[in-house]
Structure 1
Amino acid sequence: SKDDVTAVSTAEAYFERPIQDRQGRPTYFNQNRLEKASLLNPYWQVRLTNNSALAVAESNGP
């Protein structure tokens, strides 16, 4: 109906571990190699991204 309101948002999850801690020391593990992402790690983050034209078109309906 004409009274419907639709909101569309798109997000992406990414893994980012700080290069240095608060004292400026490197935060590398595994013999000075960068740590690989795993689902058990707390450094997963999310950010909003631009909506694709397809997502906007789908939200408008037929």
Structure 2
Amino acid sequence: VWAGELSGGRLHLFRWEGDRLLRVWTPPGFEALPPDAPRRTLWLNDGQNLFRDE
């Protein structure tokens, strides 16, 4: 797992065997929320080259 600060949040990268990569962006203050607090979620599937033109 790699995590780095970004403008306006934090990006976590998870790698599995093969070509699978999961990017999780969390906004500022996300980790300070109680575990049962509601969180808005946006899912983006890179099945159509959303992040790269390859």
Do the two structures share a fold, i.e. TM-score over 0.5?
Answer: no
Q: Which has the larger radius of gyration?
A: 1
Smaller-chain TM-score range? under 0.3
Select the structure with the greater relative contact order (CA < 8 A; seq sep ≥ 6). 1
